[in-house]
Structure 1
Amino acid sequence: MIPWVELDRAVVPDGGGELRLMQRGTEFSIMADRGIELMNSRLSGSEEALATLAWDRIRGRAQPRVLIGGLGMGFTLRAALAVLPADARVVVAELVPAVVAWARGPLAPIFAGSLDDPRTQVHEGDVAGVIAAAEGGFDAILLDVDNGPEGLTRAANDALYDAAGLARAAAALAPGGVLAVWSSAPHARFSAALAASELSAEEVRTPPRRGRRGARHVIWLGTKPR
């Protein structure tokens, strides 16, 4: 078996530990502390579904504005660009600058030019700040941050998923806009918080690999009233 090779390490701000970029042949992995895998280049199905499920709920809007929280390996960004119209704008907020550098370096074949798409704007910083400043400016907010509501790296990310965080996300959405949240596993407390928010709640289970059986990731969708 081909061994994993460590390509780089990056520190997550605010005590979030380290990320490691690993490669094994043509396969890439981003791992957190204790060898916990956050994403893998062979597992893109649910990250793509995060974008397509959200688009299904805002389809037909002129000049849609989309915020993606967490760049990762770019699967959500690529899926969003594949379905969004030419007049869309996509802001990708990534907290760790090295992840953006990886996207333009060893992971560039996976990103397939998506960072250079004229619709794409990369914001190196916390997605929470973008949400707080949006004031109804986004038609969709897609969050794939810290493995979901059950965070693994950075305690500050918890504020995205509590009642106050959901209220801030709702305020950042245009009427009829959608908040989509990715998670590696179910999370009863977040499900309850979303159900109690002003957003109408849906929960979708989706496989890490398209068309495969077995484990399911979770995507929550909260739509703002018109």
Structure 2
Amino acid sequence: MIPWVQLDTATMPGGGELRLKRRGGEFSIMSGAIELMNSRVSGSEQALATVACERIRGRGRPHLLIGGLGMGFTLRAALAGGLPAESRITVAELVPAVVDWARGPLAEVFGDSLTDPRVDIRVADVSDLIGGGRATWDAILLDVDNGPEGLTRAANDGLYDVAGLGAAKRALKPGGILAVWSAGPDRSFTQRLRKVGFAVEEMRARAVHGGGGARHVIWVATGTGVRPRPMSPPRRA
């Protein structure tokens, strides 16, 4: 078996360390003993973007905010989501080294997604882009940490509490979508979404294309006060 080779490490704001590893053509980003993402496992992260793009496809010049660059699964799926050429996708990544990895050792994974003219990569906390006080975004996609039950950074909890969700709701244009990825279910999170006035739909998505791997959770929330329209199954690559 080909051994794992550690390529780099990065310190997270507030403490903790990320490690980038490679084994042949496979990459992994670890936090301690926890694997946060793997280049072979991307189904549910892609489904996050696919679902959001389906909901806003009829808008003329949609502007999406993605929280968390990671290995770019959500970004690439958004670019392939049938949105018009005039759409814009802003990606907020807290850890500068993750952006460096995307342009360096992970360049073969990202392809040309970072140079797409629709894409703007910001080294920033996504909560700062959400909390501007204006209805800016047609969709906000959160793929931060392990979901509402964060594992790597306590400050991420502020994205998922009542105040953070209220800020996200105010940051959305009328009829906008908040889509949230999680490694597992969280009933209290669903309740918090409803508490701030979102109509909520919860779906399951397999980690691996073709139906394999763990069943992850995606929340799709709108602030319109009506139930979202029925969702077609995520397309598989």
Q: TM-score, normalised by structure 1?
A: 0.97
Aligned equivalent of 1:58? 56
Aligned equivalent of 1:5? 5
One-letter amino acid of the counterpart of residue 69, structure 2: L
Q: Shift in Å at residue 153 of structure 1?
A: 1.1
When the two chains are superposed, the root-mean-square deviation of aligned CA atoms in Å is 1.1
One-letter amino acid of the counterpart of residue 197, structure 1: V
In terms of mean alpha carbon deviation, does 4-13 or 205-214 score higher?
205-214
Partner deviation per Cα, 1:78-110 (whole Å, 9 max, x = no partner): 000112210000000000000000000010111
Q: In the alignment, is the contact (CA less than 8 A) between 2:133 and 2:167 conserved in 1?
A: no
Percent identity over the alignment? 63
Q: 1:74 aligns with which of 69, 72, 75?
A: 72
Partner deviation per Cα, 1:99-139 (whole Å, 9 max, x = no partner): 00000001011111101000000110100000011611100
Distance 1:10 1:214, change over 3 A: closer
Aligned mates of 2:201, 2:133 — CA distance in 1: 23
Q: Please say if 1:19 is aligned against 2:18.
A: yes
The secondary structure found in structure 1 opposite 2:201 is strand
After superposition, residues 58-137 of structure 1 pair within 5 angstroms as 58-83=56-81, 84-133=83-132, 135-137=134-136
Q: Shift in Å at residue 195 of structure 1?
A: 2.4
Aligned mates of 1:8, 1:91 — CA distance in 2: 26
Aligned equivalent of 1:205? 204
Give structure 2 stretches of 5+ with no counterpart: 226-237
Following TM superposition, the consecutive aligned residue runs of length 4 or more in structure 1 with deviations greater than 3 angstroms are none
After superposition, residues 15-54 of structure 1 pair within 5 angstroms as 15=15, 17-33=16-32, 35-54=33-52
The number of residue pairs the alignment matches comes to 224
Distance 1:153 1:77, change over 3 A: same
Structure number with higher helix proportion:
1
Aligned mates of 2:123, 2:140 — CA distance in 1: 17
Q: Shift in Å at residue 59 of structure 1?
A: 1.6
Give structure 1 stretches of 5+ with no counterpart: none
Q: TM-score, normalised by structure 2?
A: 0.92
Partner deviation per Cα, 1:52-72 (whole Å, 9 max, x = no partner): 101111121011000000000
Aligned mates of 1:213, 1:4 — CA distance in 2: 23
Q: In the alignment, is the contact (CA less than 8 A) between 2:207 and 2:213 conserved in 1?
A: no
In terms of mean alpha carbon deviation, does 192-201 or 66-75 score higher?
192-201
The secondary structure found in structure 2 opposite 1:63 is coil
Q: Shift in Å at residue 38 of structure 1?
A: 0.3
One-letter amino acid of the counterpart of residue 19, structure 2: R
